[in-house]
Amino acid sequence: MAFSKRDLQNTVKDILGDRLLVIVSNREPYVHVMREGKIECSRPTGGAVTALDPVMRACGGVWVAFGSGNADKKVVDDKDHVKVPPDEKLYNLRRIWLSKEEEAGYYYGFSNRALWPLSHIAYTRPEFRADEWKHYVEVNKKFADAVMEEVGKKEAFVWVQDYHLTLLPQLLKEKRPDLIVSHFWHIPWPNSEVFRICPKKKEILKGLLANDLLGFHIRYHCENFLDTVDKTLEARIDRERYSIVYKGHETLIRAFPISVDFSALSSKASTGEVEKAMVQLKGEYGLNSIDHLIFGLDRIDYTKGIVERIRALDRFLEKYPKYRGKIAFVQMGDLSRIHLKEYKDLNDKINAVVEEINWKYSTEDWAPIIMVRRHLSFKDILAFYRLADICVVSSLHDGMNIVAKEYISSRVDGDGTLLLSHFTGAARELTDSLYINPFDIDEFADKIKQAIEMPKKERKQHMAALRAVVEEKNIYKWAGDIISEFGKIHNHKSE
């Protein structure tokens, strides 16, 4: 029996009791923007938000995040709170505000010009700038002040998210040593030889080792972190318990593979609303005459292997010309971090490669690649998942990859094939996928052919196995496992 939303609620009640649960992240779960003179509320894309919103819906509490929407200030109260989700109002969102200089230095700068490429082995050189580190420190302090305002004198469990807030645990512990603080690292942790180039490596590690619990997606990232600490700081490392003691404080290091709300996604994907959207999208994008639809959904980022998958499609059409005119590849992707040169260059490169390949193969009534640039509702994304014979996840390096699990959860018909990069955390669990090496374009092209030609019975067997894995290891189990560790830590400290 899969761990359910109710099971998580019972776990929270038993372990947290009256203690406050505070989630802290850079990105907010809901954003308010002005559109045509009206305030609209939407949920941003991104794995962390997708995963954590169902948890907060089940648990309640406070989510502290940067208010990035142009109408965010218009809807908060005098304490910068707004109740979310807008239709149910199940928890408080506490927004903090950053100046343009702070956002440029902390977010676009040290977080994404330094830590992001450092952690992803995607051959983009990280840049370390003193002024951006200064803003990173200042913003982490601003988050700490906001969390302490929310916590006050209450007992609380504080759950920090990701690489934007590495200094926050130490700042919180300095103010309230009794707080239980956990951190989940949503991206890969690099090996020690890579991490050692970071000029602020000791400050970052000291910040993270103030946590009582530090979580990664897979055991390999845990081992990389242990090795990094071993080579950088004077600390006692227990590799059997996966524990680090630094200056008398113990941090438990654990693997928690993040997931999705399988039940909710399957239910939503089964609705008439989504089936109606499937018909509309087929007409809008000229897919009615296509035999095989291949689909990719990614933020435009150099870690996602978007150029590699387009090149693989080119090679596929070269090697297997009988499929020309019979397949379409739909790539959806929001622009991100466009202020950074690497992302501008990547977007330009994707546009150029798509134009080149479409010119090479297109006919009067067919082009192989369709780039979807407009914002699509989640209903439309689920419709594309349902339509896609093949979903391609070709990340060059990825902590987990939520798209892979969303695709599986949406396939209520039990059909479809997932092409999954070896270099994702998801590859450790989703063993009935067709694995790809995005750096091997010829093999990648052959795997597209294999997916297209796989007999329906075999496809369904693989998809049934994949759905069973995601249903069992769903988002509520992920959160329940972490909160259960909170309880063990609290009980240990109380002894």
Total residue length of the chain: 495
- Containing domain of residue 307, as a range? 262-472
Coil/strand/helix, residue 161: strand
| pLDDT, the chain, mean | 94
Answer yes or no: do 311 and 185 share one domain. no
What's the confidence (pLDDT) of residue 253?
98
Pairing of strands 62-66, 38-42: unpaired
For the residues 283-291, what does the mean pLDDT come to? 95
The answer on 297 and 204 residing in a single domain is no
Could you tell me where the DSSP H helices lie in 97-200? 100-102, 116-119, 130-151, 168-175, 192-195
- For residues 466 and 483, membership in a common domain is answered with no
| Domain co-membership, 249 together with 348 | no
Q: Clarify whether residues 81 and 178 are in a common domain.
A: yes
Element holding 38 (H helix, E strand): strand 38-42
Are 102 and 65 found together in one domain? yes
Q: Which residues contact 362 (CB under 8 A, 6 or more apart)?
A: 368
Distance of CA 433 to the CA centre of its chain: 19
Q: What is the model's pLDDT at position 349?
A: 95
Question: How far, in whole angstroms, is CA 153 from its chain's centroid?
Answer: 32
Q: Which two tokens stand for residue 27?
A: 């990105």
Percent of the chain residues topping a pLDDT of 70 = 99
| pTM for the whole structure | 0.94
Task: Say if residue 310 is in the same domain as residue 252.
Answer: no
Together in a domain, 401 and 285: yes
Q: pLDDT tens, 61-110?
A: 999 999 999 999 999 999 999 999 998 999 999 999 999 999 999 999 99
At residue 389, the pLDDT reads 98
Q: Are 231 and 225 in contact (CB under 8 A)?
A: no
Q: What pLDDT, in 10s, does the model give residues 227-259?
A: 999 999 999 999 999 999 999 999 999 999 999
Domain co-membership, 443 together with 314: yes
Predicted confidence (pLDDT) at residue 220 exceeds the cutoff of 90: yes
Contact 441, 19 (CB under 8 A): no
- Specify the 3-state DSSP secondary structure of 208: helix
Q: Residue 431: what pLDDT?
A: 97
CATH code of the domain in which 306 resides: 3.40.50.2000
Question: Quick check: 478 pLDDT over 90?
Answer: yes
User: What is the number of H-type helices and E-type strands within the chain?
Assistant: 19, 18
Q: What is the DSSP string of 405-462?
A: HHHHHH-TTS--EEEEETTBGGGGT-TTSEEE-TT-HHHHHHHHHHHHHS-HHHHHHH
Amino acid at 311: R
**Do 299 and 379 fall within a single domain?**
yes
Number of domains into which the chain is organized: 2
Q: Which two tokens stand for residue 481?
A: 């496992």
Q: 405-445, pLDDT tens digit by residue? A: 999 999 999 999 999 999 999 999 999 999 999 999 999 99
pLDDT at 495 over 70: no
Share of the chain above pLDDT 90, in %: 86
Q: Are residues 248 and 275 in the same domain?
A: no
C-alpha to C-alpha distance for 266 and 283, rounded to whole angstroms: 24
Q: Residue range 298-304: average pLDDT?
A: 92
Same domain flag for 171 and 31:
yes
C-alpha span between 340 and 347 (Å, rounded): 11
